Amino acid sequence: MTYVVKPWIGGKAVDGKGGTVDIDNPATGEVIGTLELVSPEQVEEAIELADKAQKEWRNKSIPKRQEVMYKFRQLVMEDIDNMAQLSVDEHGKTLSDARGEIQRGLETVEYACNIGANSKGQYSYNVGTNVDLKVIRQPLGVVAGIVPFNFPAMVPMWMFPLALATGNAIVLKPANAVPSAAFDMAKKLKEAGLPDGLFSLLPGDNQITNVIIDNPAVQGVSFVGSTKVAKLVQKRAIEAGKRVQALGGANNHAMVMPDADQEFVAKWLAAAAFGAAGERCMALSVAVAVGEAGEGLAEAVKKQAGQIAIPGQGNDEKAGFGPVISKAAQERIISWIDEAEKLGAKVILDGRKHKVEGYEGGYWLGPTILEDVPLEAKAYCEEVFGPVLLIQHRDSFDEAIELMNRQTVGNGSAIFTNDGGVARRFEHEIEAGMVGINVPIPTPVAYHSFGGWKDSLNGEHHIHGPEGVEFYTRAKAITSRWPSEDEVHDATLSFEKED
Ligand code: NAD
């Protein structure tokens, strides 16, 4: 039996007038649902309602806005397994990974529950005689969120809790392959008491992204996705005079120093490269082994990879990771492995022919390890976004960091070492926005901000945490004078008196 997911406009599900697309289960390759898309007119309607609702919402007290977030958090906690199941079915995640994603998203909700403390202004007393200055932060108005397929719940939660808690309305365009988690959150926001119109869900084709960005009422655009689209979105938003944060793709490298414990390194490399089928923007794609660190490293990771079970649907408790998102993604990844092999890479572990009994139609790939991959191979110079780890060798720290800093992207990066001095040099020299020291996936907790460098982030603001609050608000500096009796009656106007 299949289901239908609809757009959410004005606090309710509505019929989509922009056609439909199928929703697949990547574990089986079967169509499990239909997504109704919005028409451009429906985007206009949703933004008009958002604009109207925001004008009242921005005047609500901080406790009232926080209360919605507290209730929303409670509703998600009570229903976390059902929510996680939506991503198991549509994305192919394992149940524990899907649950973990929601929990990470809830960190931002918790930050929004405390928005009073987290959006405090500034005050300077007596900057002149009887003159004070305060800086307050006010919401932008209507903002937009455009999100990728790989975190159906968490990435939306990087955006809407802070946007709403700071007094904005938000329209969200989900990724069409995985709309149900966002739809479920729309219902929960309503149940939590969010007034109608403040949150809309606008599934649509690529053109809908542009219609959203171009609408004059939209003041800010948060985007998370591939670098190619991030750049398009950034350009379009800037041309339309909008504030924009467009987080892009990655190609994360880890340096392995000879003093690091090989078993520890191999365990974490396997987890960070193959976990979530490599479909994380913080997945580790390349290990750069320095000198003797490379001896036996590929075999050690292969041994770890051998312990990862891929038994089928993510509900199986033994499942280490699931399928990739689509047949197209599966075919692209296989073709990039083929090309790397042709160019001379050694295939240490080959996941290209991985089959799962009972799930023959699914988009499966097993863990794959390639060694000494020529730098011109797509598997090296592009983002693979699949369960593939490359192991490269360099003779020194300098050569390794030179290789790593050649990347045009700079999302996450890590080093494995027991030498504090080397680690400190690494954190100073590496060109990436998030750095791990013996931590392969250094995703900051949500009371800090998340974002890469270079082409991994297009725009000034990182997402969530303090920079998220800054992004969704603008500062206003107010200078006020409350003159004394003497000053009121002093007819002399003089700059000297302003001491
Ligand atoms: P994507 O760029 O293909 O799509 C992202 C969103 O943009 C989707 O909603 C999609 O419908 C829309 N879109 C796609 N093409 C468009 C176009 N030409 N014009 C307008 N809108 C368009 O990304 P994806 O494949 O869904 O997600 C995977 C990518 O996201 C990877 O590159 C991954 O690294 C990146 N990602 C980055 C972060 C980060 O924090 N930097 C986090 C998660 C994912």
SS (H, E, C) 55-84: HHHCCCCHHHHHHHHHHHHHHHHHCHHHHH
pLDDT over 60 at 127, yes or no? yes
Tell me the per-residue pLDDT of 241-274, one tens digit each, with 9 for 90 and over.
Answer: 999 999 999 999 999 999 999 999 999 999 999 9
Q: Please identify every residue annotated as catalytic.
A: 281
User: Is any ligand 1 atom within 6 A of the Cβ of residue 383?
Assistant: yes
Strand-pair partners of 244: 221
Q: Give the pLDDT of residue 498.
A: 52
Please tell me the distance from the alpha carbon of residue 60 to that of residue 43, in angstroms, as a whole number: 25
Please tell me the distance from the alpha carbon of residue 267 to that of residue 305, in angstroms, as a whole number: 8
Tell me the per-residue pLDDT of 206-224, one tens digit each, with 9 for 90 and over.
Answer: 999 999 999 999 999 999 9
Tell me the per-residue pLDDT of 226-235, one tens digit each, with 9 for 90 and over.
Answer: 999 999 999 9
pTM: 0.97
Distance 175 CA to ligand 1 centre (A): 8
User: Is any ligand 1 atom within 6 A of the Cβ of residue 204?
Assistant: no
Strand-pair partners of 369: 349, 389
User: Is any ligand 1 atom within 6 A of the Cβ of residue 179?
Assistant: no
Task: Provide the pLDDT confidence category of residue 493 given band limits of 50, 70 and 90.
Answer: low
**292 with 59: CB under 8 angstroms?**
no
Distance 223 CA to ligand 1 centre (A): 8
Q: Give the pLDDT of residue 484.
A: 87
Q: How big is the CA angle at 142 (ends 201 and 57), to the nearest 5 degrees?
A: 95
Structure token pair of residue 76: 């998600």
Structure token pair of residue 157: 């939660």
Ligand 1 atom with the shortest distance to the CA of 411: 41
User: Is any ligand 1 atom within 6 A of the Cβ of residue 282?
Assistant: no
Tell me the per-residue pLDDT of 427-459, one tens digit each, with 9 for 90 and over.
Answer: 999 999 999 999 999 999 999 999 999 999 999
Distance 248 CA to ligand 1 centre (A): 7
Structure token pair of residue 218: 């939209």
User: Is any ligand 1 atom within 6 A of the Cβ of residue 61?
Assistant: no
Distance 259 CA to ligand 1 centre (A): 38
Q: In which element (H, E) is residue 188 found?
A: helix 180-191
Complete edge-to-edge strand list for the sheet that includes strand 3-5: 3-5, 30-36, 20-25
Domains and CATH numbers, the chain: 3-247+464-478 (3.40.605.10), 252-437 (3.40.309.10)
Residue of 149, 244, 332 with the most ligand 1 atoms within 8 Å of its CB, for mutation: 149
Distance 297 CA to ligand 1 centre (A): 33
User: Is any ligand 1 atom within 6 A of the Cβ of residue 209?
Assistant: yes
pLDDT over 60 at 496, yes or no? no
Tell me the per-residue pLDDT of 72-84, one tens digit each, with 9 for 90 and over.
Answer: 999 999 999 999 9
DSSP state of 388: E
Distance 419 CA to ligand 1 centre (A): 37
Strand, coil or helix: 11 = coil
Residue of 210, 222, 229, 454 with the most ligand 1 atoms within 8 Å of its CB, for mutation: 229
Place of tokens 């191979």: 377
* Average pLDDT value for the chain: 96
**107 with 447: CB under 8 angstroms?**
yes
Please tell me the distance from the alpha carbon of residue 139 to that of residue 158, in angstroms, as a whole number: 17
Structure token pair of residue 75: 């509703």
**416 with 264: CB under 8 angstroms?**
yes
Q: Give the pLDDT of residue 410.
A: 98
Please tell me the distance from the alpha carbon of residue 355 to that of residue 364, in angstroms, as a whole number: 7
Please tell me the distance from the alpha carbon of residue 382 to that of residue 376, in angstroms, as a whole number: 9
Tell me the per-residue pLDDT of 323-341, one tens digit each, with 9 for 90 and over.
Answer: 999 999 999 999 999 999 9
DSSP 3-state percent helix, strand, coil across the chain (nearest 5): 40, 25, 35
Place of tokens 């056609």: 19
User: Is any ligand 1 atom within 6 A of the Cβ of residue 281?
Assistant: yes
Structure token pair of residue 96: 């524990």
Count each helix (H run) and each strand (E run) in the chain, helices first.
Answer: 17, 23
Ligand 1 atom with the shortest distance to the CA of 456: 41
**226 with 258: CB under 8 angstroms?**
no
Task: Provide the pLDDT confidence category of residue 485 given band limits of 50, 70 and 90.
Answer: confident
